[in-house]
């Protein structure tokens, strides 16, 4: 096959793969990212349909030197999916990923914001109404930036005290609404309508703000009060504080919308400060020069 024919072959097969993923109700974003990555493989390594085990092993080895561990892990997942699909559909007789092995993913180390950080930013007199709501949603509902950005008035039931959260991969979950979030929404009804986006784009109000915009606004709000806190550290604070309050892990998992209980359990080490309290009970020692 000529180079042009190989390129056309990849494009045609990606079209079939894309259609099949859509029929399984995968989110458009997930489908787009997977297809884009396979096209990247095609452009950098050669025809993505005919890559061999050595090609893929070298690619992943290079990723281990140039990419974050989570990025390398995610690349490996898509590579496996692509070649398994090719084999299952008869477009390849073999699966070159069988012997690759899965890249080791380092254990997550949560870095929660401190409650003092939250107190400082919420008491700041220059905090805008919408920015304060973003802080409350991130900290008291454990919402990600993408979830905050796409929140609509229809998703918040102030009477039943429930909130609908459209999460990663278009997961759709309804949780209880924290009373502080509800109070802030009632006090500023013009900012948080019963219908429509709570955080519309300033460029096109028919659309919501970008998740990156939510992240930037939150980081800047904390920076102004001298607190080096990111948006995701507020979510870490939520999980850590719930575990500190002896909330059952399964309940924390539901609130945080973790797909795996192991992710939730990763916050236990941070929340467990009993060892530090025990060490403080040891007598002080005088150390000479």
User: Structural domain boundaries of the chain?
Assistant: 3-88, 115-275
Give Cα separations from 146 to 14, 151, 156, 263 (angstroms): 27, 9, 16, 19
pLDDT of residue 273: 55
Task: Tell me which residue of 132, 276, 91 sits closest to 218, measured CA to CA.
Answer: 132
Of residues 5 and 31, the one with the higher pLDDT is 31
pLDDT of residue 133: 95
Contacting residues for 44 by C-beta, under 8 A, at least 6 apart: 59
pLDDT of residue 3: 44
pLDDT of residue 288: 47
Give Cα separations from 255 to 51, 84, 156, 158, 262 (angstroms): 42, 34, 16, 18, 15
Of residues 6 and 29, the one with the higher pLDDT is 29
What is the pLDDT confidence band of residue 61, given thresholds at 50, 70 and 90?
very high
Least confident of 35-39, 59-63, 179-183, 279-283: 279-283
Q: What CA–CA distance (Å, rounded) separates 231 from 222?
A: 9
Contacting residues for 239 by C-beta, under 8 A, at least 6 apart: 110, 112, 142, 252, 256, 264, 267
Is the CATH code 1.10.443.10 the one for domain 115-275?
A: yes
Please write down the long-range contacts of 187-193, taking CB distance under 8 Å and 24 or more positions apart: 188/129, 188/133, 191/129, 191/130, 191/133, 192/133, 192/153, 192/156, 193/153
pLDDT of residue 150: 94
Residue 180 has pLDDT above 60, yes or no: yes
- Percentage of the chain lying above the pLDDT 70 cut: 85
**Burial code of 194-227, b = ≥16 C-beta within 10 A, e = fewer?**
eeebbbbeeeeeeebbebebbbebbbebbeebeb
SS3 66: helix
pLDDT digits (tens, 9 = 90+) for 46-58: 889 999 999 999 9
What is the pLDDT confidence band of residue 105, given thresholds at 50, 70 and 90?
low
pLDDT digits (tens, 9 = 90+) for 111-134: 888 889 999 999 887 789 999 999
- Mean pLDDT in the chain? 85
């Amino acid at each position: 096959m000529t180079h042009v024919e190989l390129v056309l072959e990849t494009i045609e097969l990606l079209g079939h793969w894309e259609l099949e993923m859509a029929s399984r109700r995968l989110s458009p974003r997930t489908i787009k990212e997977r297809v884009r990555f396979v096209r990247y493989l095609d452009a950098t390594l050669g025809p993505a349909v005919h890559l061999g085990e050595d090609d893929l092993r070298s690619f992943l080895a290079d990723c281990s030197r140039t990419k974050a561990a989570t990025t390398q892990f995610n690349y490996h997942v898509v590579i496996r999916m692509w070649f398994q699909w090719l084999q299952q559909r008869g477009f390849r007789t073999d699966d070159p990923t069988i012997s690759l092995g899965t890249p080791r993913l380092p254990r997550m180390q949560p870095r929660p914001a401190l409650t003092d950080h939250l107190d400082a930013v919420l008491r700041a007199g220059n905090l805008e109404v919408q920015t304060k709501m973003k802080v409350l949603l991130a900290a008291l509902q454990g919402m990600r930036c993408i979830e905050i950005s796409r929140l609509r008035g229809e998703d918040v039931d102030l009477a039943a005290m429930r909130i609908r959260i459209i999460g990663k991969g278009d997961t759709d979950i309804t949780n209880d609404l924290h009373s502080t979030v509800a109070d802030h929404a009632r006090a500023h009804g013009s900012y948080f309508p019963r219908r429509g986006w709570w955080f519309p784009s300033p460029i096109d109000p028919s659309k919501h703000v970008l998740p990156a915009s939510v992240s930037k606004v939150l980081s800047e709000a904390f920076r102004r009060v001298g607190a080096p806190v990111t948006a995701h550290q507020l979510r870490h604070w939520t999980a850590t504080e719930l575990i500190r309050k002896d909330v059952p892990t399964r309940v924390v998992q539901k609130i945080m919308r973790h797909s795996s209980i192991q992710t939730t359990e990763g916050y236990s080490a941070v929340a467990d400060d009993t060892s530090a309290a025990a060490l403080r009970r040891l007598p002080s020692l005088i150390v000479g020069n």
